[in-house]
Amino acid sequence: MDSPQQLCTRIPSVMDEPQSGAIARVYAAALLNAVPADQQPGVIEELQSFVQDVLPANPGYQRLLASAVVGRDDKLRLISNVVSGRGSELFTNFLKVLAKHNRLDLLPVICRQVGLQYEILTGKRRVQVTTAHPVSEETGQAIQQSLAQTLPYTPIVELAVDPTLLGGMRIRVGDTVYDGSLRARLKQMRHRVEHRSTHEIQSGRNRFSHSERD
- Please give the Cα distance from 187 to 119 (Å, whole number): 34
Q: Are 98 and 107 in contact (CB under 8 A)?
A: yes
Model pLDDT, residue 32: 97
Sign of CA dihedral 78, 99, 91, 109: positive
Selection from 2, 9, 1 nearest residue 126 by Cα: 9
User: Which residue spans of the chain are classified as CATH 1.10.520?
Assistant: 4-120
CATH number assigned to the domain with residue range 4-120, chosen from the 4 options 3.40.640, 3.30.300, 1.10.520, 2.60.120: 1.10.520
pLDDT tens sequence for the chain (214 residues):
444 444 454 434 434 566 888 999 999 999 999 999 999 999 999 999 999 999 999 999 999 999 999 999 999 999 999 999 999 999 999 999 999 999 999 999 999 999 999 999 999 999 999 998 999 999 999 999 999 998 899 999 999 999 988 777 889 988 888 887 656 665 666 666 666 655 555 665 565 555 555 5
pTM, to two decimals: 0.71
- Please give the Cα distance from 154 to 173 (Å, whole number): 12
User: Which residue spans of the chain are classified as CATH 3.40.30?
Assistant: 124-214
Give the pairing of strands 169-173 and 124-131. Answer: antiparallel
What is the tens place of the pLDDT at every residue in 28-79? 999 999 999 999 999 999 999 999 999 999 999 999 999 999 999 999 999 9
Q: Are 156 and 126 in contact (CB under 8 A)?
A: yes
Selection from 30, 32, 20, 43 nearest residue 89 by Cα: 43
- Please give the Cα distance from 63 to 55 (Å, whole number): 9
Cα→Cα distances 124→2, 49, 78, 115, Å: 16, 22, 37, 11
Topology of domain 124-214, per CATH?
A: Glutaredoxin (3.40.30)
- With a CB cutoff of 8 Å and minimum separation 6, the contacts of 140 are 157, 159
C-alpha of 108 from chain center: 12
- Please give the Cα distance from 44 to 31 (Å, whole number): 9
